[in-house]
Amino acid sequence: MISDNRESVLRDCETILSTHHDKLYNLKNEKIFITGGTGFVGTWLAEMICYLNDNHNFGTKVCLLSKKSENFKNKAPHLTKRKDITLIEKDIRDLMEIPSDVSYIIHAAANPDNKMHSSDPITVMDVISRGTNAILASAFNLSNIRKILNVSSGLIYGPQPLDLEKISENFRGGPDCDSILTVYPEAKRYAETLCTAYRNQNKLPIVTVRPFTFMGPYQSLEKPWAHTNFVRDSLLGGPIRILGNENTVRSYMYASDMAFWFLKILVDGNPGISYNVGNPEGVSLRKLAEMIASKSPANIKITSDAGMNANKSVSRFVPDVNLAKGLGLEVFTSLDEIIKRTLSWYQRCLTEK
């Protein structure tokens, strides 16, 4: 018997792939190697590829590399039982060899949790820098490598100017290297430069994506982000607490949209080009909290200490995605629907427990 949450993921995949599977045709009968393969990104990529195999006869095989796979076995046990998925448990920094029949690589190994960035910054930077070098050095030995997708971050741009509605790939900003909170984006900047070096010296076909903010199933509600806090507060009956400046603006892309964008850019993205991945429509934290509260079964209040939060800086983090649109990509899921699906998923998680 398939659980309701499993069915909802299949529907999410079907919503996009029922009419767009042909755009990923080049992945048929290929093998994809995914680092960070059991995290939020890797799990959704695996779900989408499995859907293609089951419903469109893609015959695509997937290797998921992860330092620890135990949580994955609890989170997505159905994926661990499949013949088209191979789990490899290894620290990416120790990677020496990739299966010789791999033709595509998605490098997504990194920890975006800013609590980790503060508590263990050296490890965060080491995993990104040494891990990227390890995957690229191993990829150089592959005879049939078609494309490598390097998953970077929209945070590499540094603070987005408040008068800049959307930040594009040609923006020349940068994080403050004196702040401990910038260890992640600085390491991602280095990783992008390392990709440039490998592409130029060793002719590796590397394309980069710069993710912004995502929401949806398989995302841990323990992450210290506004939207995960809001969802958790809602599930607990409220109040929803706005801890930062309520006028701060973010944008949110649904998980299945993200997975499709990554795969499409893997297939058709141009080596040497970086593509923003995210929703180009921004929303304030106050508005997001109100939307989540409105979809909760209980009458949930929203709290925000205007006096305290007024002293906290306003920030903006919204991408320009015209380059990605040039590949025929579009945002499939509205913010209203994102919130509805996400809340339903986690409510069922609580019920199933």
We report the CATH number of the domain holding residue 12 as 3.40.50.720
C-alpha 214/C-alpha 224 separation (Å) is: 13
Is 107 domain-assigned?
A: yes
The 3-state secondary structure of 57-108 reads: CCCCEEEEEECCCHHHHHHCHHHHCCCCEEEEECCHHHCCCCCCCCCEEEEC
- pLDDT at residue 308 tops 70: no
Is 151 within a domain? yes
pLDDT band at 348 (very low <50, low <70, confident <90, very high): confident
Answer whether residue 167 is part of any domain. Answer: yes
Q: Is the model's pLDDT at 249 over the cut of 60?
A: yes
Tens of pLDDT, residue by residue over 210-231, are 999 999 999 988 888 999 999 9
Is pLDDT at 5 greater than 90 in this prediction? no
| Per-residue pLDDT at 1 exceeds 50 | no
Higher pLDDT: 5 or 62? It is 62
Is the pLDDT score of 297 beyond 90? no
Q: For residue 115, what pLDDT band results from cuts at 50, 70 and 90?
A: confident
Residue 80 counted as domain residue:
yes
Place of tokens 């607990």: 236
Least confident of 32-46, 128-142, 201-215, 310-324: 310-324
Q: What is the mean pLDDT of the chain?
A: 93
Report the alpha-carbon distance of residue 154 to residue 140 in Å, rounded.
Answer: 27
What is the Cα–Cα distance from 178 to 304, expressed in whole angstroms? 30
Give the domain extent around 141: 4-218+253-279+318-332
Q: What pTM was computed for the model? A: 0.96
In a domain, 14, yes or no: yes
Instruction: Select from 89, 85, 136, 91 the least CA-distant residue to 110.
Output: 91
- Nearest to 318, CA basis, from 234, 229, 253: 253
What is the reported pLDDT for 309? 52
pLDDT of residue 113: 83
The model's confidence at residue 111, banded by pLDDT at 50, 70 and 90, is confident
For 310, the 3-state DSSP assignment is coil
Q: Which residue has the tokens 């600085």?
A: 186
Question: Quick one: how far is CA 247 from the chain centroid?
Answer: 24
pLDDT at 2: 58
**54-78 b/e with 16+ CB inside 10 Å = b?**
eebebebbbbbbbbebeebeebbee
The structural domain count of the chain equals: 1
Q: Answer whether residue 154 shows pLDDT above 80.
A: yes
Cβ atoms within 10 Å of 138's Cβ, excluding its own: 17
> 349 lies in a domain?
no
- For residue 334, the model assigns a pLDDT of 97
Both tokens of residue 73?
Answer: 């076995």
Partners of 250 in beta bridges? 283, 317
DSSP 22-41: GGGGGGTT-EEEEETTTSHH
Residue 160 covered by a domain: yes
Asked whether residue 72 is assigned to any structural domain, the reply reads yes
| Contact in structure between 345 and 76 (CB atoms under 8 Å) | no
Residue 94, amino acid: D
